[in-house]
Structures are given as C-alpha cells and as structure tokens.
Amino acid sequence: MLENTKKFAVLIDADNSSVNSISSVLEEVAKYGIASVKRVYGDWSSDSLKKWREVLLPHAITPVQQFAYTSGKDATDMILIIDAMDLLYGGALDGFCIVSSDSDFTPLASRIRESGLVVYGFGRKKTPEPFKKACDKFISIENLISEEKEEDKQSVETKNNENTRKTSSIEKEETKPPLDKATLNLIYKAVKDNSDDNGWAYLGSIGTYLSTVKPDFDTRDYGYTKLSGLIKAVEVFETKIEGSQMFLKKRKKQS
C-alpha cells in the first residue's frame, strides 16, 4: 500500500441502508482510499437482516451485534457512534465513511470533522439535509446503483454494432434531467469567486467549491460522470484546455 493512501473506517447502519448497494458503496470508497475497517451494525437475530448475512463474508465486513433493548428506538445508532469515537481516538485513520440515511449521525459526522478527519456519507437521496451537510461529501446510493446498471448496459452494448450504441447514447442525453436553477447559480458564483482577471476559472477549483458548499452535489444526478461533461452540456459557459487542465467562464450574451 502506498504511503499516501488514505485509510478509512466504513461503518454501516444495517437498519437504514440497502444491502443491494454495498458492493457499489465499497467500490466508491476505493476511489478515495483503503477501507481498513469495515463494520456493519444491527440486530442479527432479526429476520429483517437475513439478506445482509450473504454479503458479509464476500466483502470482509465484520458484523457487530446490538440487540434492540427497547422498541421504537435504534440501539444500533449508539454502538456505531461508540465504535466510531474509539476508532477516532485510536488515531490510525484518515477518515470515515458512514453508510446510513439516518439524520441521527449528524453530530457524529460533525465531531469527526472537528478532529480534522474527512467524512463521506452514503445514503438515499431522501436523507435529511442536516446529515448531508455535516459530511465533507455525501453520495446518494441511487446514483451508485444507477451507474452500476449503466456499466452493465454498456458491457452488453459492446457486443452489438456501433449504430446501436449511438442510438442508446442519444436516448440517454435526451432523458437526462436539466440542471436546476439553484445549482446553476451556485456554479456561476463559483466561477466568479475563483476567476482570474479575464474571467477564467480552473475547473478543479469549481469542483472543490461545489463540494464544500453543497456536499451532496454529484454530477451523476444530471447524467454525467464528470463535471467537465456537465459544464459543456449546460452550454452557458465558454471552456478552454491548457495542458491537461480545463478552464471555464460565463458565456457572454449575444447582442
């Protein structure tokens, strides 16, 4: 393992996570570093977690048992938080990946960030905003599952002819959701705040700004895997490439 590879603890709330998304979540975590700790929390005596048992061994995830002492309240939350604090004080990690759609983990995410460690949140799009904003970056599992399905679809299409692939690509472009006004205005502001005297802003700075201000911003929400593709598709920015870096500025209105 490279010395600069970041080490993460992946802590999964089984009661508020989809078992079908775990493979995709771990693949996404691998983009940021090594999942040196992988634990999933729940009451394993419950039939509702039966499907989880099938994914534990293949993904080397350690199950942590927590009996539900009272009905109506998740005892899982407390043991996950206690474990997280133990790991935080251990000092061997660079960050945490909290897999849950539960806003109860908002204080935990905030506390970890106060200690200077990065926090990635994984949950459904309907996850309450406080938890999303408490994370350095929040990734919706719907995007991960959708991306996985798209990759499978493309794998099948490679067996077909080029015309079929082009038709599929056109259909995808036509059905992508539009960029909402609030996000577009946020990009405008990012360009303005990070531009040089000629109005050009480095795309990397724009991406960092968006992730900081809006942790759940994800280009996959708009049908693009990269920010550069989304920027070009919006067609309200001029772009240029210098070396391997992309720059953009607001396109002037035609008089």
| 3-state secondary structure (DSSP) of residue 23 | helix
Which of 97, 120, 145 is the last residue in one of the domains? 145
Please tell me whether residues 196 and 119 are part of one structural domain: no
Q: Could you tell me the CATH number of the domain that includes residue 138? A: 3.40.50.1010
pLDDT (tens digit, 9 = 90+) per residue, 228-240?
Answer: 999 988 888 999 9
Please tell me whether residues 29 and 118 are part of one structural domain: yes
Please tell me whether residues 32 and 105 are part of one structural domain: yes
Question: Please, what is the end-to-end C-alpha distance for the chain in angstroms?
Answer: 57
Please tell me whether residues 116 and 18 are part of one structural domain: yes
Q: What is the pLDDT of residue 126?
A: 93
pTM of the complete model: 0.73
Please tell me whether residues 29 and 95 are part of one structural domain: yes
Contact 251, 174 (CB under 8 A): no
Which of 145, 168, 203 is the last residue in one of the domains? 145
Q: Domain range spanning residue 208?
A: 181-250
Q: What is the pLDDT of residue 103?
A: 92
Does the residue 20 lie in any domain? yes
Does the residue 231 lie in any domain? yes
Does the residue 175 lie in any domain? no
Please tell me whether residues 138 and 193 are part of one structural domain: no
Q: What is the pLDDT of residue 167?
A: 45
pLDDT (tens digit, 9 = 90+) per residue, 115-152?
Answer: 999 999 999 999 999 999 999 999 999 988 765 554 44
Please tell me whether residues 133 and 214 are part of one structural domain: no
Q: What is the pLDDT of residue 146?
A: 64
In whole angstroms, give the CA distance from residue 206 to residue 211: 9
Q: How confident is the model at residue 5 (pLDDT cuts 50, 70, 90)?
A: confident
Please tell me whether residues 130 and 212 are part of one structural domain: no
Q: What is the pLDDT of residue 106?
A: 96
Overall number of domains in the chain = 2
Q: Could you tell me the CATH number of the domain that includes residue 192? A: 3.30.420.610
In whole angstroms, give the CA distance from residue 87 to residue 236: 46
